[in-house]
Structure 1
C-alpha cells in the first residue's frame, strides 16, 4: 500500500534503481540509474512534452489537504523544458498541480506547495520533457509530502510527562496525568540540551510525517538565553547560534513543521545592557528567521511576548526589525497565563501595527497550555510569571479563534518555570507531577 501521509514517493533518490517508477514508450524515452539519480533521455521523435515521461502511480490524494512537491533536476542542454504534474492516473488525467520549469546544466532544487482539488487513491506524479530534440534530464531527491492539521497535531511520545508516566505507572496521579497531558499534542522544545540538533529534528519531523501529523516545535537556543535568568544557557557565541540554526534547518528539511521561534528573545531586548547587545540579539533572530523562512513546508511564528509586557507598537517594530515579513507570523503568551480573549486582542493590535508598517496579513498563535484560569488571582491582581498558584490547563492544541491561526500548547504543562512559586526546588524545564496535578485540578 503506498503512503497516505508523510512522504508519498517511494525510491525518490533512485538508490533502488527504477523500483516504483515507470517510463513511457521506449521509442521516445530511455532511462538509466547509474547510482546518482535517474538519467532519462528523450529522442528526437518525442515531439510533445508528454511523449517522453516518467512517473509513479497509486498516490493517495485528498481534497483540501496541502502537499509539497520537491525535486532536484538538471539537463544536458540549457533551456530544457520540464513539466511536473500531480493528478489523476487515469482518464480524464485531471491535474491538481501542473508546473513547467526551464532546466539548466547545474542541479537545481524546485519546490511547489499546493492544496489538492482531487480525492483519489489512483493519483499520479509525472515528469514530461519531450521537445523534438535528443536531451537527457537528470532527476533525484523527489518527494511529495503531506501533513496537515486535518490529520491533527503530533503528540510527542517522549514528552517529559510521558517519560514520568513510564517510570511511575502506579503513582496515584498517573491516570489523570496520562489522560490530561500525555495524550495531548504540544510542542517539543529544542535547545542546548540537544547534542545533535540536525539529527534530533530530522528524527522528530520524520516521525510526525510518518503518522501524517503536524509537529509543533519550539526552538530555544538564543545566545545569552533568558538574559541569565531561570532558563539561562543557549548557544555559546553568536557564531555558534548561527551554526545551530543552520543545522536545525537542515534537520527539518522539507517536512511540515510548525515552529515557534526563540521565546522571549525580542521581548527581553530592553533588559540587555547595551545598544550593541540589543542590535546583536535582533540580528541573530533575523538570521534564524531568514534561514527557517526558506523551508518549503514550515510555518514559522516568531515570539511576540505577551499582553502585559511590551506595548503593541513597540513589539511590532521589534518584529519588523527581526524580519517577520519573511515568515507566517508571531506567537503570544508563550509560557504565560493570559486568557484567550486578552491574547487575541493584543495580537490583533500587533497585526494592525505591522500592517501600518507595510507588513500586512501576518498570522498569530496563542499558547493556551496554562491559561485556563487566566492570569488574575482571587484579588484581581496579575499573577507572577513563575509557577503561580491557581492556574489551569487551557484549550488543547486546535484551530484558532478570535483571529488566531491556532491555539497551541507551547509551554509543556507540568514543566517548571524555575525554582519559584509553587515549584520551589524544581529547576526550569524539569517535569513535576505536583505542578501537573495543580494545572489539571486548577489548584
Structure 2
C-alpha cells in the first residue's frame, strides 16, 4: 500500500490529545488482562486528522476514531525491518505503561490470494519472520492477534497445505510465547456467521490453541457483540470438552454497531463503530473488546485494502456517541517508527496459494460505441494450484469517461469460473462475461477498476474484449 505522508509525531499526537479518550483503564473484573490499551500516536487516521483541520468530518473522526487504541498491523513481510518495527511499537507502549496490541499478518497464502493477498513466500521464511517478532516483544503484557482468516478460511488449501499451515501456526504460537511469557496470543476463529462452533473448535485445536490463550472473532465481519459472545461460549465449551479448558475470546468491535452481513464494508453505509476498546469486559469468557481492524481502513473491494478512507471513518462514527473520558492521561508521542498497514484482513473470496504473479496481458479496446466510449482490459494470473487458478483483470477507460463496462472472454477446454468478486459474472457454455457492480462502473478517462475470479482447470491467458457504456 502507498504510505501516507509522514507528519511529525508531535503534530499528530497534539491534535489527538485534544480529542480526549485514549482507552480505558481496566480492573479486569472478568478477563485475564488488566490495564490501559495503547493508542499509537502516529497512525493513518492520526495523520489524516493532523493534515485536515478544516475538513467538516475531522472533529467526529478525531473524537470517535483517532482518539481510540487500535491494533498495530504487522503486514509488510520484511525480514530486515521486523525487529525494529515491533520493538519500536512495544517499547513505546511500555514507556507509556499501556498494553500494546499487535496483529501478525504475514502467513504464506494469506487471504487465499484475495484482496489482502501477500505474506511470506514460504513457511520457512515465515517462521524466521515470526522469530523476529518474538525476539522483540519485551517482557510485559502484549496482546497478539495471530493471522486473521488463517484458520476460518481454508478453501484454497490442499490437505498437505492445510497440515503445513496448522504446523506453522502451532510453531508460531510456541515461538511467540517463548519470546515473551507474558504475551497473550489468540488464534483466528472467523465469526458467528461462518463456520459452526464445533467445526471451528476442531480447527483451532489442529492449529495449536492448546498453547495459546484463546481465539478472536469478528475481524472479518460486522456481527453484533452479543452474537459473537454466544458463538465464543460455544467454542469455549467445545474446546473444554476436548481437553482444552480455560481458553478465552477477544471480539473485534470496531465496526459492529450497525448492520451485519456481507464481509466488505467499503460501500455499506449501515456499518457503525461498536463498543469502544477495553479489556474491562465484565465477562469471564472475554479478554477484550478490541479494535483489531482500524475503523476507516478499507477491506479491498472498493478501495485498496488497508488504505485509510475518511468517508468510511465518518460513516462509521457519525452516529456514535463520544467515548467516555479516559481514566488515564494520553501518552506522550513516542519514537516508534511510522507504519500503516499495507493491507488488512477481510473474509474475501477464497482462492489459491499464490504463485509468482504474472504481468498483466492487455486486450485491445473494443470497437467504440456511439459517443466514442471505449475501454480495455488486462489479465494476469494472480495464483495457481493443481486443478485451478485465480485471475485478476484490470479495466481501463479510454479517452472518454464511461458509465459502465463489461469484459468477455472464452474459457479454454476444461476451465470453469467458480467465483468472482468486484463484478457480476454470467456464463453461457464457454463464453464468460463480467459486468461492473454498482460502485466501480463509472470511470473517468483513463480510470481503472479491478475484478477477480477463481476458475477450475489449468491457468491460461484469455483474449479479453471490453465493452463500455
* TM-score when normalising by structure 1: 0.62
Q: Does 1:389 find its partner at 2:266?
A: no
Query: Cα distance, 1:149 vs. partner?
Result: 6.1
Are residue 287 (structure 1) and residue 168 (structure 2) matched? no
Distance 2:147 2:181 in 1: 20
**Root-mean-square deviation over aligned CA pairs:** 2.0
Per-residue Cα deviation, 1:322-349 (whole angstroms, up to 9, x for no partner): 1111121110111420101100000100
Deviation (angstroms), 1:401: 4.3
The answer to whether structure 1 residue 262 and structure 2 residue 147 are counterparts is yes
Provide Cα deviations, 1:133-158, integer angstroms capped at 9, x if missing partner: xxxxxxxxxxxxxxx96541100111
- Corresponding residue for 2:294? 412
Query: Could you tell me how far 1:317 is from its partner in structure 2?
Result: 0.9
Q: Deviations over 1:335-388 (max 9, x none)?
A: 42010110000010000000111001101110000001141xxxxxx3343433
Q: How does 1:423-438 map to 2 (within 5 A)?
A: 424=302, 426-438=303-315
Relative to structure 1, the CA distance from residue 307 to residue 292 in structure 2 (aligned partners, 3 Å threshold; closer, same or farther) is same
1:98-143 CA-to-partner distances (Å, cap 9, x unmatched) read xxxxxxxxxxxxxxxxxxxxxxxxxxxxxxxxxxxxxxxxxxxxxx
1:371 has 2:256 as partner: yes
Say if 1:383 and 1:191 are closer, same or farther in 2 by CA, change over 3 A. Answer: closer
Q: Is the 8 A contact 1:334 1:411 kept in 2?
A: yes
Q: Does 1:177 align with 2:65?
A: no
Corresponding residue number in structure 2 for 1:276:
160
- Quick check: 210-219 or 275-284, which moved more? 275-284
User: Higher mean Cα deviation, 403-412 or 346-355?
Assistant: 403-412
Cα–Cα, structure 1 residues 149 and 238, in superposed 2: closer, same or farther, change >3 Å? Answer: closer
Alignment equivalent of 1:163, drawn from 40, 47, 51: 47
Say if 2:148 and 2:219, in contact at 8 Å, map to a contact too: yes
Could you say which residue in structure 1 is the equivalent of 2:281?
400
Alignment of structure 1 residues 341-360 onto 2, 5 Å: 341-360=226-245
Counterpart-to-counterpart distance in 1, 2:255 and 2:136 = 30
Quote the Cα distance in structure 1 between the aligned partners of 2:38 and 2:221. 22
Partner of 2:372: none
Aligned CA distance change for structure 1 residues 273 and 263 (closer, same or farther; 3 Å):
closer
How many Å apart are 1:169 and its aligned residue? Answer: 2.3
Question: 5+ residue gaps in structure 2?
Answer: 1-25, 321-469
Single out whichever of 397-406 and 325-334 deviates more from structure 2: 397-406
Checking the alignment, whether the CA contact within 8 Å between 1:249 and 1:291 is kept in structure 2 is yes
C-alpha separation in 1, matches of 2:235 and 2:217:
10
Select the residue among 66, 76, 79 that pairs with 1:192: 76
CA distance in 2, matches of 1:321, 1:172: 49
- Alignment correspondent of 1:215: 100
1:374 and 1:253 map into 2 onto residues whose CA distance is 39
Equivalent-residue separation in structure 2 for 1:199 and 1:249 (angstroms): 12
Taking a change above 3 Å as real, the CA distance of residues 360 and 209 of structure 1, as seen in their structure-2 partners, is: same
Task: Quote the Cα distance in structure 2 between the aligned partners of 1:183 and 1:288.
Answer: 32
Task: Give me the whole-angstrom Cα distance separating, in 1, the residues matched to 2:230 and 2:277.
Answer: 19
Structure of higher CA gyration radius: 1
Aligned-pair CA distance for 1:441: 2.2
1: CA distance, partners of 2:248 / 2:164: 26
Q: What secondary structure is seen at the aligned counterpart in 2 of 1:293?
A: helix
Query: Which structure's residues are more often strand, by fraction?
Result: 1
Structure 2 counterpart of 1:440: 317
The answer to whether the Cα contact below 8 Å between 1:367 and 1:409 also exists between their aligned partners in 2 is yes
Cα offset, 1:428, TM superposition: 0.3
Higher relative contact order (CA 8 A, sep 6+): 2
Alpha-carbon distance between aligned partners in 1 of 2:263 and 2:77, rounded to the nearest angstrom: 27
Structure 1 counterpart SS, 2:273: coil
Q: What is the distance in 1 between the residues matched to 2:156 and 2:97?
A: 42
SS of residue paired to 2:131 = helix
- Give the drift of 1:389: 2.8
TM-score, L = length of structure 2: 0.59
Q: 1: distance between equivalents of 2:296 and 2:134?
A: 28
Contact 2:166-2:208 within 8 A present in 1 as well: no
Instruction: Report the Cα distance in structure 1 between the residues aligned to 2:233 and 2:27, rounded to whole angstroms.
Output: 27
1:216: how far off? 1.0
